[in-house]
Amino acid sequence: MKISLILLLLFPILMNCAHSKQKESTLIENIVFQPKDKEILTQAFDIFSGDENTPISVLMIKVGTFFKETPYVAATLEINPDKEKLVINLREMDCTTFAENCLAISRTIKNGNPTFEKFAAELQNIRYRGSKIDGYASRLHYFSDWIYDNYLKKITKSISKELAETIFAKPINFMSTHPESYIQLKDNPELAQIIAIQEKEISARKTNFIPKEKIVIIEGKLMDGDIVGITSGIKGLDIVHVGILVRKDGRMHLMHASSAAEKVIVSEETLEEYLLNSKNATGIMVARPL
């Protein structure tokens, strides 16, 4: 995966029948999408309309499989640098937006009576710190922060510590030390400083991960539908890639939006092989959808 592109990635109010027409229109006004995105979402809802009671682990795989062959495109969220809005793009995805879309669609289906507005609310809830859009810095850019925040919101459960009590001891500061790589940061030192404060908070947390050499030991405890962040040896960076686990022939594989394949695929390699064959990968962090 091209690191320079990946690093660009990385209405909290849930819609319900009590919302007024005015609030619904406000939600739409703060979303960036194309008609095709609604068509794809409607198709997914139609296909999985009977899966409301399906375990979310199974539903994650079904939805992920629905998106196989979807083109990989980096930086799909960076289309409006002047004002942060909720970007919905189901036509093309990077590794993080693939996982987010699968989780948001699965949760929308599980909650019953799925609609575009409910999906948008779920996606915002997942993508932004505390579920609220408040500028560029409110987006969960670092995936270890994404795992932590979605654990607090009870959307996912962080299970890395129970799988392997290995501390991920590493200062996180890539964005603030490479502001030139981010269109929103390169001419905005004040925003870069806000990001730097967030990085210090992330670095201060006691975070666990599973080293790649231990994958074979804990693999049996992993589940279909688990979301994994592949930890990185790159200085200042926590996670370099994101995917969804799927078991094939008794071994875990990675379903992901692949920059190399330029589309959503399931890896031919096992998860263990994928990690061992990557010079930048050091292991995984695991978030289990709830």
Domain housing 53: 3-152
Q: Residues 167, 110: one domain?
A: no
- How far, in Å, CA of 64 to CA of 267, rounded? 13
From 99, 124, 152, give the residue that closes a domain. Answer: 152
Q: Residues 217, 147: one domain?
A: no
- How far, in Å, CA of 239 to CA of 164, rounded? 17
Beta bridge partners of 156: 289
* Alpha-carbon distances, residue 172 vs 96, 135, 157, 198, 250 (angstroms): 18, 21, 22, 9, 35
Q: Residues 35, 102: one domain?
A: yes
Number of domains in the chain: 2
Q: Residues 142, 167: one domain?
A: no
Q: What mean pLDDT is predicted for residues 200-210?
A: 97
Q: Residues 143, 281: one domain?
A: no
- How far, in Å, CA of 243 to CA of 228, rounded? 6
- How far, in Å, CA of 85 to CA of 237, rounded? 25
Q: Residues 281, 163: one domain?
A: yes
* H or E segment to which residue 101 belongs: helix 95-110
Q: Residues 67, 185: one domain?
A: no
Q: Residues 79, 104: one domain?
A: yes
Give residue 29's pLDDT: 67
From 104, 133, 152, give the residue that closes a domain. Answer: 152
For 243-285, what is each residue's pLDDT tens digit?
A: 999 999 999 999 999 999 999 999 999 999 999 999 999 999 9
Q: Residues 85, 166: one domain?
A: no
CB 131 within 8 A of CB 84: no
| Residue 175's CATH number | 2.30.260.10
How do the residues of the chain divide into helix, strand and coil, expressed in percent and rounded to 5?
A: 45, 20, 40
From 152, 183, 218, give the residue that closes a domain. Answer: 152
Mean pLDDT of the chain: 91
In the chain the first and final C-alpha atoms are separated, in Å, by 28
Q: What does DSSP assign to residue 270?
A: -
Q: Residues 112, 25: one domain?
A: yes
φ/ψ of residue 198, rounded to 5: -60, -40
For 120-139, what is each residue's pLDDT tens digit?
A: 999 999 999 999 999 999 99
For 148-188, what is each residue's pLDDT tens digit?
A: 999 999 999 999 999 999 999 999 999 999 999 999 999 99
- How far, in Å, CA of 28 to CA of 214, rounded? 45
- How far, in Å, CA of 164 to CA of 210, rounded? 6
- Top-confidence residue, 2 or 260: 260
Q: Residues 129, 17: one domain?
A: yes
- How far, in Å, CA of 56 to CA of 244, rounded? 12
- How far, in Å, CA of 241 to CA of 256, rounded? 9
Q: Residues 7, 148: one domain?
A: yes
pTM above 0.75, yes or no: yes
| Residue 138's CATH number | 1.10.3670.10
φ/ψ of residue 43, rounded to 5: -60, -45
